[in-house]
Structure 1
Amino acid sequence: MKKTRIIRERSFSMDLLQFAEHMPDAIRRRAVRRTFQPGEALIRKGDPVTHVYLLLEGATRVSNEFESGQRYTFAQIDAPDILGDLEVLSHQECYAATNEALTECTVYALTTGTFYAWMRADNAFAIRIAELLATKMYPTSDENGRIKFLPSVLRLENYLLRRIGAVDTDLFVLHTGRQEIADDIGTSVKTVNRGVAKLKEAGLIGLSHGKITISREQKARIAEDLTRAE
């Protein structure tokens, strides 16, 4: 089933290049072809939603910056794909995450109005966007549904791994408060504190001035613990 889904995702994405090649003339006149160099942000978290970007070439990394000042990279997007579609189609005012060029990226920048006009003018394009968006969101829904049924300690472990993401460091320090953790995993602060105590006792995390710390070895052990639970 997983292999089939990967093939379908690739098929949907490749269709984007075909749609770009056969873009209606009225839309093409309003689309702006842009190039971003490595390190440049195509989209910044918190900026007003004004454009959708059709990624034609290159790769971006998706990251989030939190109030603590820490930044977490949690995904990579490779061309062809589309950026900003979730925010536009859900009528959000601001982008939810930062998309930064990993390599030189070539895009078609479409204003939200142009993007909607293209969808209205081309039913096949609109259907492909809906299918691609659903394909992107399904794994998240599936994962969230599975996580909610895990015991609270395992939910805490999963949360910690998600927060570390692709951060490459010898010692990860989590600056998030216990209440925020509790809200994110759907439990109480008291339960989070018990989970933190259990993980520390098991040697899976450390504490520094009340903040959770995780070494490379501890990260690997937490991942093994979650794998065994599955």
Structure 2
Amino acid sequence: MELDFILAHMPEEIRRQTTHKTYMSGETIVRKGEDAKHVYLITKGSTRVSNEFASGQRYTFAALGEADIIGDLDVLAGKSVYAATNEADSTCEVIAMRAETFIQWMHLDNEFAVAVARMLAAKMYPTSNEAGRIKFLPSLERLHSYLLKRLGDIETDLFILHTSRQQIADDIGTSVKTVNRGVLKLKEAGLITLFHGKITINKEQQQALKDAQVEE
């Protein structure tokens, strides 16, 4: 459901119970383990969804954007705390409401309730399809797959990855040390180049990376 449609059809009694908030890039909107008392409808910007574990390792497994909802799964599951951390990836504007208001909105508006169900399904499907698989991939293969995904269909003579090693580690569910080791292996294999610490991939390396069979 489009954001404009959602906002246009928001019942007035629900609208009166909401507030508008802005989060700057890097700010945490909800943190894993905090009381799940609010739900947030994103009206502008994007967020990173990650999970932190007792070992200190963090795994970024999803991204949310305009018209997506933060906290819906936790509230609808009847859980008292948020299951994951949601952090603004850019300047992010949201409409905030109490969990009770969110539930009330769903009872009042069947179309909104169906839209929420579809959004939840869209969130859960890729997580179910990929998260478990990537967890068991060898670390170098995970890094290789990550770089291919970042390359996508981009056509450029020189691709420069500006993402930090910590963020790469979070995105593929491993440690910075493991990422650094993988980066060196790919560099030694001639599949990437390092320039002032950043990963760069020229035209020939891009094709070689796509053709490569990576071994640990």
* Shared fold (TM-score, shorter chain, > 0.5): yes
Instruction: Give the gaps of 5 or more residues in structure 1.
Output: 1-11, 149-153, 175-207
Equivalent residue in structure 1 for 2:114, among 104, 119, 127: 127
Report the equivalent of 1:61. Answer: 48
For the structure 1 residues 173 and 61, does the alpha-carbon distance in structure 2 shift closer, same or farther, using more than 3 Å as the test?
A: closer
Q: In structure 1, the residue corresponding to 2:165 is in which secondary structure?
A: coil
Closer, same or farther in 2 for the Cα pair 1:72/1:140, shift >3 Å?
closer
Instruction: Spell out, residue by residue over 1:87-127, the C-alpha distance to the aligned partner (whole angstroms, 9 max, x if none).
Output: 11111221111111122211111111000000000001001
The separation in 1 between residues aligned to 2:141 and 2:82, in whole angstroms, is 24
Say whether the 8 Å CA contact 2:42–2:92 is kept in structure 1: yes
Q: Which amino acid aligns with 1:126?
A: A
CA distance in 1, matches of 2:141, 2:68: 29
Task: Determine if the alignment matches structure 1 residue 137 to structure 2 residue 124.
Answer: yes
* Amino-acid identity (%): 41
**TM-score, scaled relative to structure 2:** 0.64
Matches of 2:55 and 2:136 in 1, distance apart? 22
For residue 169 of structure 1, what is the aligned residue in structure 2? 165
Q: 1:161 & 1:116 partners in 2: Cα distance?
A: 39
Aligned-partner SS, 1:35: strand
Segments of 5+ residues of structure 2 without an aligned counterpart are: 151-162, 171-176, 192-208
Decide whether the 8 Å contact of 2:165 with 2:180 is kept in 1: no
Alpha-carbon distance in 2 for matches of 1:225, 1:50: 47
Instruction: Considering Cα pairs closer than 8 Å and 6+ residues apart, tell me whether 1 or 2 has the greater RCO.
Output: 2
Give how far 1:213 is off: 7.5
TM-score, structure 1 as length reference = 0.61
- Distance in 1, Cα, partners of 2:109 & 2:79: 23
Residue correspondences, number: 171
Paired position in structure 2 for 1:104: 91
Which stretch has the larger CA shift, 71-80 or 126-135?
71-80
Which of 174, 182, 205 aligns to 1:215? It is 182
1:215 alignment partner, SS class? helix
Q: 1:114 and 1:45 mapped to 2: Cα distance?
A: 21
Partners of 2:139 and 2:182 within 8 A in 1: no
